[in-house]
Structure 1
Amino acid sequence: MSKVLVISGSPSPTSKTEFVGEHVARRLAEHAWHTGHLRVRELPARALLDADVTDPDISRAVDLVAQAEGIVLATPTYKASFSGLLKVFLDLLPQYGFTHKVVLPLATGGSGAHVLVLDYALRPVAHSLGARHVVQGHFLLDRDLTAEGGRVRLRPESTESLDEVVEQFRRALAAAH
């Protein structure tokens, strides 16, 4: 079974961004893709900041990336860029850690003014890590996601547009496989 790894760069334990990553993972699992979800905030902070790849948790995380055929980068948008937490993790990966991988960049944020985070921040980083193919990313506004009673939901029209991007990603994975 082929593997896709969702990497969430949100520092929040009640993250809407993580919910989006889980939604993508469920959609891919419907098409026989084995999916995992790496929540960078759960890695040991000191080892992460020190880029200590000898730390067992960091080493396992790097191995998960190496074993994946597809990577979903899911991040909240802060100050017109992706999260520093995600950046710290991506910085400790080998120089060509995404070689032969298909990457789907996803971002969430409060304003459409930040949509360029996909093309001016996430896409260049994915390419610098050697990604085979970076598919069209997707940006979700906070208003596209509602949180009620500890549950996050996507608005129906937002679900449809996200699922279209996931389908493009799935096709790119199949073609690369």
Structure 2
Amino acid sequence: MKPQLLDWKLANRIKGEEFSSSASAIAEYAAKELIEKAHLIMPGVEESVWLVVKQILASGTSMAIAASSRPASGSEHLIAHNLENLCQGKAIHGEQCAIGSVISMFLHGGDWRSMVSTYSKFGLSVRARDYGIRDDIMIEALRTAHRIRKERYTILGEVDLSREAAQNALSITGIL
């Protein structure tokens, strides 16, 4: 399951936030389709573009059903937006979300290693240094990402992670 959907389910359990199983299923389908067909996605191939566009449309549909960006945006986006604030211009949004997805999945206790493997099929690194992001900035981005949207409950919780906990999680996942 995508980390943003795990965040949404967590918010439903902890905070009573409304959860749409239909929107969640569509968002999960879109992600699984891309992962399963990753080997078919190649630069400059029209069929590849269509495969990706169909899943973007499915993701948009899931957000329309939920009347929220929840199906496509959770802790990984909070981390990405915090990185954008702390080190402007170092990596593009999608790269930052990939990094955020890996650490979010790790925090959820999910299969973050398969995410790293899938990203590598596209030549996408999740090492912060590969984007010019210093270790101290990456640690701070993870520690304080929950502040970006205080109303959006995620696995990041409501208080700053300790520096040691953030560094440990980022090191284990290979982000640092």
Fold shared by both chains (TM-score > 0.5) = no
Higher RCO (CA 8 Å, separation ≥ 6 residues): 2
Larger radius of gyration: 2
Relative to the length of structure 1, the TM-score reads 0.31
